[in-house]
Amino acid sequence: MRILDKYITRYFLPPFLYCLLTFILLYVIIDLFGHLDEVLKQSISIFILNQYYMAMIPLIITQAAPLSALISTIYVLGTMNKNGEITAMRAAGISMFRVLIPFLFLGLAISMAVFLISEKIVPQGMKTVESIKENHIEKNEKNKTTDKKIISNIAVYGRNNRLIFIDAFDNHDKTVRGVTILQQDKKGNVSSKMNAHEGKWTGGRWIFYNILLYKLNDKGIVMSNPVFFEEKGLDIENPAELLSKGANYEFMSHRDLSNYINNFSSASQKMITRLRVDLHRKVSFPFTSMVVMLIGIGSAIKINQRSKVTAIMGVGVSMLIGFVYYAVMASCIALGKSGILPPPVSAHLANFIFGLIGILLIRN
């Protein structure tokens, strides 16, 4: 690593780490005050709270890294430009592209670090968070917060090799609508498929209504006409188990979610599309840091010691583009999950568009 690369890296890392630490502290403080009533009511110990927030830190880092990288990039390049360092470098024959190379490598390193944290640390951390929430923080309030909700698109790998898909789950009435249950054999082949219009939990088992039952061969082809039942009881997971098993697949690793999708390959296309969007987003989201750094570079290099207005405008424009970027990304994800955009396009389109904008800002 050359002296210039070391200099810029040492200049960049302190504000980046300060920003990360600030965002972590802000999140912990805000979240703690948001749950203060429950914490005092349940007399939760400092040890439990420490374990809870330590488990949350990896997720906070992945969410805060892009904005921290953007702020640090603007600060470092803006300061170097104001102090005439970039002018001196260019006068010494160093091209602007060479000056920016360390920032590009830092952006790539941050993106890779975010991806690895999301894959290796966040899933286990969120399991700890959910366990502490359920058993300590919200154990007396969870019925109040979930009974009135209708939860959509639940997918569960259930007991006895059953794949269960539910379009809508009403936890208040303990009813479900749009149910598909796939029975697998020991080899993982689907041997039967049951479609039910609705079902109700009776306290000990589920009763399903208006049922079509299909028998399938080893190739997944229906062997004969379906059998119709007006009503049929079935012993599957109870409501609490369905909620716990079918929630938060967004915190799975890329590999686990890919396997999850493969297990549910015979599910409704709508469910598979939503899962595939989340799968591709696990790859695209870490590169948010790289994209916003490109935008920040394009704005920060316009800052000079003679014009404070230019500096303010550079920071303002980059922050504005950053917020627009997040809005466009959210819109693309929504369009992907609704089936309007293909999953890979919906997950990567915002990165492509705004990465291109960042490159154009740098060139100009």
Q: Is residue 253 part of a domain?
A: no
Identity (one letter) of the amino acid at 117?
I
Q: What one-character-per-residue DSSP string does 178-237 give? A: EEEEEEE-TTS-EEEEEEEEEEEE-SSSEEEEEEEEEEB-TTS-B-SPPEEEEEEEE---
Q: Is residue 202 part of a domain?
A: yes
Q: Domain check: are 159 and 233 in the same one?
A: yes
Q: What is the domain range of residue 13? A: 3-128+280-363
Q: Domain check: are 103 and 176 in the same one?
A: no
- Total tally of structural domains belonging to the chain: 2
Final residue belonging to a domain, choices 247, 266, 298? 247
From first to last of its 364 residues, what are the pLDDT tens digits of the chain? 588 888 889 999 999 999 999 999 999 999 888 878 877 887 888 888 889 899 999 999 999 999 899 888 888 887 887 788 888 888 888 888 888 889 999 999 999 999 999 888 988 888 788 778 777 766 655 444 444 467 777 777 777 778 888 888 887 888 999 998 888 777 767 788 899 999 999 888 899 999 999 988 877 678 888 899 999 998 888 887 777 665 556 677 787 778 777 766 655 677 778 888 988 999 999 999 999 888 888 777 765 544 555 556 655 666 677 788 889 999 999 999 888 999 999 999 999 998 898 888 888 7
Q: Is residue 330 part of a domain?
A: yes
Evaluate whether 172 touches 147 at the Cβ level (below 8 Å). yes
Q: What is the CATH number of the domain that holds 157?
A: 2.60.450
Q: Is residue 271 part of a domain?
A: no
Q: Domain check: are 220 and 154 in the same one?
A: yes
Q: Is residue 103 part of a domain?
A: yes
Q: Is residue 136 part of a domain?
A: no
Strand order in the sheet with 175-184: 150-158, 162-170, 175-184, 190-201, 206-215, 227-234
The number of residues in the chain equals 364
Q: Domain check: are 112 and 72 in the same one?
A: yes
Q: Domain check: are 103 and 13 in the same one?
A: yes
Q: Is residue 62 part of a domain?
A: yes
Q: Domain check: are 292 and 350 in the same one?
A: yes
Q: Which residue has the tokens 């479609």?
A: 195
Q: Domain check: are 121 and 7 in the same one?
A: yes
Q: What one-character-per-residue DSSP string does 113-136 give? A: HHHHHHHHTHHHHHHHHHHHIIII
Q: Domain check: are 234 and 298 in the same one?
A: no
Q: Domain check: are 159 and 236 in the same one?
A: yes
- Element (DSSP H or E) covering residue 69: helix 46-82
Q: Domain check: are 94 and 158 in the same one?
A: no
Q: Is residue 252 part of a domain?
A: no
